Amino acid sequence: MTPLEAPPAPPDQKLLWAPHAWVGGRWRERVLLAVGDDGRWYSVQPDTAAPPGAEVLNAALLPSLVDAHSHAFQRAFAGFAESRSGEHDDFWSWRDRMYRIALRITPAQLRAVAAHLYAELLAGGYTQVCEFHYLHHAEDGRPYADPAAMAWALADAAADAGIGLTLLPAVYERAGFSQAGLRADQRRFRAGAAEALALQQAVVQSRRPLVDAGVALHSLRAVRTESLHEVARRCTGPIHIHAAEQTAEVDDSLAATGCRPIEWLARHGGLDERWQLVHATHTKPDEIAAVARSGAAVVLCPGTEANLGDGLADLPGWLAAGVPLSLGSDSQVTRAWPEELRWLEYGQRLVLRRRNVAADPASQPDTAARLFDRMLAGGAAAAGQACWGLQPGARADALLVDLDDPALQGMPPARLLDAIVFAAPATPFSRAMVAGRWAAPDRARLASRHREAMTALVGG
C-alpha cells in the first residue's frame, strides 16, 4: 500500500510518526499520530508518510495499560513476607504482618514510597494507576488536621513520577460481617461512606493535572450495607470493591448473608458499569453470567494472587462472558503488565494442562493480543476514562518499544507483542508518554527519598 500524504495539522498539535504502532488490535505500519493541546490523541492515521516537523520514532509504539488496582504503601512490604515461622501461612497471616508497615508509614514516607513505585510502574508499561486508598488516618487512628493528608501524599507522588492517578478513597468500617467495628491494628483505615465521598470530591475539586477520583468499598465484609448503597447512589465515578479473593471470605459471606460475595453484589448491590470487582477469584458460572448482565467489570491481579496463594480466577469464563477485564499490581510484588499477563495465562496452562488458553481461534487466535486488547479496553472504565489506547479522543499515552532489546531482536512486527509477553525477561520499554509528553521522572532523587523512607520504616 502506498503511504498517504499527511494532511496539514491544525495549529498547536504535536506530531509523532512510528514505523509500527498497535492500532485497532493489530500492528499497523507508517502511523502518524497527532496530539491535541488537550493532551489527547487528535488523530491516528496508519499508512501515512511522515510529514516535516513530525517526531520520527525509530521504534514501535504500543498503547500503555491502566494499573487498575494498587496499594502503594505495600511497596514498602514487598519481599518481607517470604518466610514461614509456623505450620501454616496464608493470606490472613500475610495481612497481619503487612499491617505493621501500615501502622508506621507517615505521609512523607508514603509519598516517597509511592513515587518510587509509580516510576517503576511507568517503566513496567502503566501510565495510569488506580489507587485503592484506605490508609486514611494518623498512626494513632486519629484524623489528620487535613483529612486528605494521605490522599495528597499519593497525588504528590504521582506528580513526582509523572503518572496519571485515579484515587479511590475506601470505605472501611468493620473487621468482618459479625464485627461492630475495626480491630486495633486497622485503626488507620476507618472511614464511612460520607468520609470517602467527601475525599473523592476534595480530590476532584482540586483539579490537579492527571488526577481523578472514584470511591472504593474495601469488601462486602468490611462495609455496612447502608454505606454500600449510599456509595452506589451518590458516586459519579468508578466504584471498586475487593470481592471473592479468598475462600474464607466466601464462607463467611455465606454464613452471614446466605449468599456468596459476588452473588450478593449481583442481587443486592446495584451493580452497573461503574463497578470494578477486584480479584473475583472464586466464582460460579451463574455469578459470572450475572456480572456480565450487569455491565460490571473485573480487575485481575495475577502476581499478587499467586504470591498470596489466593487461587486462580476462571479466566476462560470471564473471557467467554465478555466481562470487561483489567490488571492490577495490588501488593506490588510485580510491577509490569507483561509479567502479569504471563502469570495470568501460565496459571491457566498449569491447571488445565493446555496451551494458549486465552486465545480464541474464531476471533483472536493470538493469546497475547487477545489478553492485551481486553485489558486495554477494560482499563478505561476502571480509571474513569471514556476510552484508552491509540485512538482519537483517548489520552495521548503510549510506550516506546525498544526493538534493540535482546528479546526482540529479529522478531517480525507481527510477533512483537507475543515476544514482549512470553519471551522477554525484562520489560523492553524505553520511554513512556503521558498526555502527550514523554515522562522523565528524576529517578535519582526519587531513589534517594525512597531509600531514606525505607531505612526509617524497616531498618538498613
Q: Domain-by-domain residue ranges, the chain?
A: 14-63+393-443, 65-383
How many Å from the N-terminal Cα to the C-terminal Cα in the chain? 60
Output the pLDDT for position 90.
87
Binning pLDDT at 50, 70 and 90, where does residue 459 land?
Answer: confident
Output the pLDDT for position 6.
54
Which phi-psi region, left, alpha or beta, contains residue 338 (left: φ > 0; alpha: ψ -120 to 50)?
Answer: alpha
Output the pLDDT for position 149.
98
Q: Which residues pair with 277 in a beta bridge?
A: 241, 298
CATH 2.30.40.10 fits 14-63+393-443, yes or no: yes
Q: What percent of the chain has pLDDT over 90?
A: 94
Q: Which three cell numbers stand for residue 387?
A: 476510552
Q: Please determine, for residue 63, whether its predicted confidence score (pLDDT) is greater than 90.
A: yes
Helices (H), 51-126: 91-102, 107-123
Pairwise CA distance, residues 218 & 228, whole Å? 10
Output the pLDDT for position 133.
98
pTM: 0.96
Pairwise CA distance, residues 420 & 336, whole Å? 11
What mean pLDDT is predicted for residues 76-99? 90
Output the pLDDT for position 291.
98
Place of cell 476514562: 385
Active site residues: 279, 330
Output the pLDDT for position 183.
96
Binning pLDDT at 50, 70 and 90, where does residue 49 land?
Answer: very high
Q: Please determine, for residue 215, whether its predicted confidence score (pLDDT) is greater than 80.
A: yes
Q: Which three cell numbers stand for residue 399?
A: 510506550
What mean pLDDT is predicted for residues 212-239? 98
| Type of residue numbered 325 | L
Report in angstroms the alpha-carbon separations of 352 from 316, 320, 358, 404: 11, 16, 12, 35
Q: Please determine, for residue 10, whether its predicted confidence score (pLDDT) is greater than 70.
A: no
Binning pLDDT at 50, 70 and 90, where does residue 281 land?
Answer: very high
Q: Please determine, for residue 414, whether its predicted confidence score (pLDDT) is greater than 90.
A: yes
Question: Which string of DSSP letters, residue by residue, matches 393-426?
Answer: TSB--EEEE-TTSTTTTT--GGGHHHHHHHS-SS
> 184 exposed, middle or buried (CB, 10 Å; 0-12, 13-18, 19+)?
exposed
Q: Please determine, for residue 1, whether its predicted confidence score (pLDDT) is greater than 50.
A: no
Reduced to 3 states (helix: H, G, I; strand: E, B; else coil), residue 279 is strand
Other beta carbons less than 10 A from residue 128's beta carbon: 27
Output the pLDDT for position 9.
53
Q: Please determine, for residue 7, whether its predicted confidence score (pLDDT) is greater than 70.
A: no
Please, are residues 191 and 239 in contact by the beta-carbon 8 Å criterion? no
Output the pLDDT for position 53.
95
Q: Which three cell numbers stand for residue 235?
A: 458516586
What mean pLDDT is predicted for residues 390-409? 97
Decide which of 3.40.50.720, 3.50.50.60, 3.20.20.140, 3.30.479.30 is the CATH code for 65-383: 3.20.20.140
For residue 381, report the phi and psi dihedrals to the nearest 5 degrees.
Answer: -65, -35
Q: What percent of the chain has pLDDT over 70?
A: 97
| DSSP structure class, residue 139 | T
Q: Please determine, for residue 427, whether its predicted confidence score (pLDDT) is greater than 90.
A: yes
Output the pLDDT for position 88.
85
Q: Please determine, for residue 134, whether its predicted confidence score (pLDDT) is greater than 60.
A: yes
Average of per-residue pLDDT values in the chain: 96
Binning pLDDT at 50, 70 and 90, where does residue 11 land?
Answer: low
